[in-house]
Structure 1
Amino acid sequence: MKILIVDDHPINRTLPATWLARRGHEVVERGDGLQALELIAQERFDAVLLDIGMPGVSGLDVCRRLRASEGPDRLHIVAYTAHAIPEMLDEMREAGFDEILIKPITEEDLLRALRLT
């Protein structure tokens, strides 16, 4: 699988990128929502692990834009966040996320959210 990890904190990209690469997946990393949108417009990904709280274009906005513009091939989008309050979780679901992964994560949680197990 080709997976895009988007988080403004490089350390938050390192662990999931390492786990996924070790399992043979192609991993691409970006540091903000605008970079993610530009890259997704140019390349095909199987899944996106998307931080919610980023400066500029938030993960919620990225997900909404992707869902509004996608064709028949629905991209698997996983929220990757420290925001676990019920109202925020509802907002993520309404934005169109397929899964919500709460930081800190385990490798098992990551694989489950990306439907790799």
Structure 2
Amino acid sequence: MTERLALIVDDHPTNRLLAAALLKKLGWSTLEADSGDAALGLARDTPPDLVMLDISMPGLSGEATCSQLRELENGADMYIVAYTAHAFPEDKARFLAAGFDNILVKPINRQRLEEVISQRRSPI
């Protein structure tokens, strides 16, 4: 079985730590980035299967980062999840229109994370 790799992008270390701990319990390997620019560099070097991407970050926003990830050679294959506190229906519609595959509202838990991962059309 191939190892599944998740890239967690959030400017708050505690959020990255929680997401990484939950993903590791589910059998994932993780990489972490504290900015959109750092995420793009990591994704170019080591393409992830899953990207959990915070929306509100200093510098490059989550939406701009998502757009640039999609432009990478393997960007269409990435399962990109908006990892955010923005939970209004209009926010969710905007994120999906911006290229995200799914939305995971903070704070997260293992059950909700598993649900979001399982909703990918092709298995990871």
Normalised to the residue count of structure 1, the TM-score between the two structures is 0.90
Which residue in the other structure is 2:82 paired with?
79
Q: Does 1:114 align with 2:117?
A: yes
Secondary structure at the aligned position of 1:114 is classed as: helix
1:51-90 equivalences under 5 Å are 51-71=54-74, 74-90=77-93
1:17 to 11, 16, 20: 20
Instruction: Note the alpha carbon deviations across 1:27-73, whole angstroms, 9 max, x for none.
Output: 11111111001111111211100000001001100111122344585
Change (3 A) 1:94 1:73: closer
Which residue in the other structure is 1:48 paired with?
51
Task: Indicate if the aligned counterparts of 2:70 and 2:76 stay in contact, CA closer than 8 A.
Answer: no
- Report deviation, 1:23: 2.8
- RMSD of aligned C-alpha atoms? 1.7
Q: Which stretch shifts more, 75-84 or 104-113?
A: 104-113
4+ residue segments displaced more than 4 Å: 70-73
Aligned partner of 1:46: which letter? D
Secondary structure at the aligned position of 1:28 is classed as: strand
Q: Does 1:5 align with 2:45?
A: no
Q: Does 1:31 align with 2:42?
A: no
Structure 2: gaps spanning 5 or more residues? none
- Report deviation, 1:86: 2.5
Secondary structure at the aligned position of 1:55 is classed as: coil
Change (3 A) 1:41 1:71: closer
Normalised to the residue count of structure 2, the TM-score between the two structures is 0.85
Q: Work out the number of aligned pairs and report it.
A: 116
Structure 1: gaps spanning 5 or more residues? none
Q: Percent identity?
A: 45
Q: Does 1:94 align with 2:90?
A: no
